[in-house]
C-alpha cells in the first residue's frame, strides 16, 4: 500500500536503519520506544492486522516469531527475558495499520502494563 509507512520502510522508499532484512520481513527500532530494547518485526507483505491472517499465513507468522527470537538474542535480552506484543485494531492499541510484532526488553516488564 502506497501510503503505509511500514510498506514504505520495507520497500526502502522511506529511510530507516534496518537491523534485519530477508525475503519475508524487516526489523527496525521503534521510533517511540517503550523499553531500552524496542524493535519492530514487520512482514514485507501488507497485512493490515492480526485478524486478517489466514491459514495460508502460518509459515509467514512462524517466520516472524523465529526472526523475533533471533533478534532478542542479538539484542542481548533473551537471557533475562522480554515481552512480545501484537496489537490488533484501534481498541487493541494498534496505531499503524500494518501487522507488526513488538520486541520489548532491557528492563523488568510489569503486568498489567501501565
DSSP for residue 53: -
State pTM to two decimals: 0.94
Please tell me the predicted confidence (pLDDT) of residue 114: 60
- Quickly name the fold that domain 5-105 has: HIT family, subunit A (3.30.428)
Q: Out of 38, 98, 100, 102, pick the active-site residue.
A: 100
> By C-alpha distance, which of 69, 77, 62 is closest to 109?
77
- How many angstroms separate the Cα of 32 from the Cα of each of 23, 36, 55, 103? 26, 11, 32, 13
**Using one digit for the tens of pLDDT, what is the confidence trace for 63-100?**
999 999 999 999 999 999 999 999 999 999 999 999 99
Mean pLDDT of the chain: 95
User: Catalytic annotation on 98?
Assistant: no
**At residue 22, does pLDDT exceed 80?**
yes
Domain ranges of the chain: 5-105
Amino acid at each position: 500500500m502506497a501510503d503505509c509507512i511500514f510498506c514504505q520502510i520495507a520497500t526502502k522508499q522511506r529511510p530507516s536503519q534496518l537491523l534485519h532484512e530477508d525475503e519475508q520481513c524487516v526489523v527496525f527500532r521503534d521510533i517511540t520506544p517503550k523499553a531500552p530494547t524496542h524493535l519492530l518485526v514487520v512482514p514485507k507483505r501488507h497485512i493490515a492486522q492480526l485478524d486478517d491472517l489466514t491459514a495460508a499465513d502460518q509459515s509467514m507468522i512462524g517466520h516472524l516469531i523465529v526472526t523475533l527470537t533471533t533478534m532478542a538474542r542479538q539484542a542481548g535480552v533473551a537471557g533475562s527475558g522480554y515481552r512480545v506484543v501484537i496489537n490488533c485494531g484501534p481498541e487493541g492499541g494498534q496505531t499503524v495499520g500494518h501487522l507488526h510484532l513488538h520486541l520489548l526488553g532491557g528492563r523488568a516488564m510489569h503486568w498489567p502494563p501501565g
